[in-house]
Structure 1
């Protein structure tokens, strides 16, 4: 009985993976990432007051988002076309693209760990993190 249940679980997991939509998944992660950055960008611009607790919360959420950004799962070879703005350069230089994703992940992890306590410290960390956004979009997005 136990092996039958395990067999069903394996089949169910395989069917779920077979129906995954990596384009939709990566769009959802990027939309979430953009929304999070948008929550604290006004602080960096001086349009909203600095709030250390809010910044820490958003940096932690951005780190969690980066942890879910699995390049291999989100950019399989069969997701080059369709409703996507991903550049073909991604698949031509997958190692470079993965390195860019890892750099972002390292920078947001460092920013979250730094727990900025003032505006200047926040701006320094935020600048490092968002530099990745622009660099990635210029190199890897249509």
Structure 2
């Protein structure tokens, strides 16, 4: 039995270390947040285009992801996290006030429209308000 425990521990320790590194790595964290937001935006686009049926629960989940992601996102750009495998533009650090303002506009658009997503038309209206704020931030603060 102790051999099984030793083998299990040997397998779990590297996994636990990976989780800790991801939790302390701001680049990995912001990539994870953006991946989740991107996946939700793809689903939203399909709904808006009529490629997927409108679903009130899915629409609410999309906006919940936007809201939670936006709340986390600003803190994931500490000094020194501009180096490494990142598409974050240098302007995030050289124009931090502009970046923070762009993020605040996104948060405000999400907050102002989150109550509209309960209907298909409301969801389309909400996405029309939030989408431009996403694009504006990406155009200024993401390297292509």
Write out aligned runs for 1:61-140 (5 A).
61-69=65-73, 71=74, 73-117=75-119, 119-140=120-141
2: distance between equivalents of 1:74 and 1:53?
A: 28
Q: Deviations over 1:44-87 (max 9, x none)?
A: 11112222232122212321222222x2x311121111111111
Residue 92 (structure 1) shift: 1.1
Distance in 2 separating the partners of 1:57 and 1:22: 24
Which residue in 2 is equivalent to 1:40? 44
Q: State the shift of 1:113 in Å.
A: 2.4
1:8-65 per-residue CA deviation (whole Å, 9 max, x = no partner) reads: xxxxxxxx79x82111111111111111112221011111222223212221232122
State the aligned residue count: 123
Rounded to whole Å, the distance in 2 between the matches of 1:75 and 1:104 is 17
**Counterpart secondary structure, 1:116:** coil
Shift of 1:116: 3.5
TM-score w.r.t. the length of structure 1 is 0.78
Structure 2: tracts of 5 or more residues without a match: 1-19
Name segments (4+ residues, structure 1) moved above 3 Å. none
Moved more, 57-66 or 41-50: 57-66
